[in-house]
Amino acid sequence: MTSRELSGEYWYCQEHHRVERYEDTDSSNRIGPFGTEAEAARALETIAERNERYDQEDAAWDGDA
């Protein structure tokens, strides 16, 4: 995607700990893009949930679950 296509998308800024627009966030500090502001606000929770699910899947694959 080009920066023009991402303009206006929602991102979670790890530096400021808030939702920001693409053009307002330094690329090294952003997580996203997200379609809505609410989704971006949950970015860290979404990551934690996915990591937990992946850990469970890995444990099941390894026979530890």
pLDDT by residue (tens digit) across 10-52?
Answer: 999 999 999 999 888 778 889 999 999 999 999 999 999 999 9
Tell me the pTM: 0.73
**Is there a contact between 6 and 17 (Cβ–Cβ < 8 Å)?**
no
pLDDT at residue 22, as a whole number: 85
Residue 14's pLDDT is what?
Answer: 94
User: Which residues lie below 8 Å from residue 40, measured CB to CB, with a gap of 6+?
Assistant: 10, 11, 12, 19, 31, 32, 33, 34
pLDDT of the residue at 3: 62
Residue 40, classified by CB atoms within 10 Å of its CB into exposed (0-12), middle (13-18) or buried (19+), is buried
pLDDT digit string, tens, across residues 6-19: 666 899 999 999 99
- What span, in angstroms and rounded, lies between the C-alpha atoms of 15 and 50? 22
List the domain boundaries for the chain.
3-62
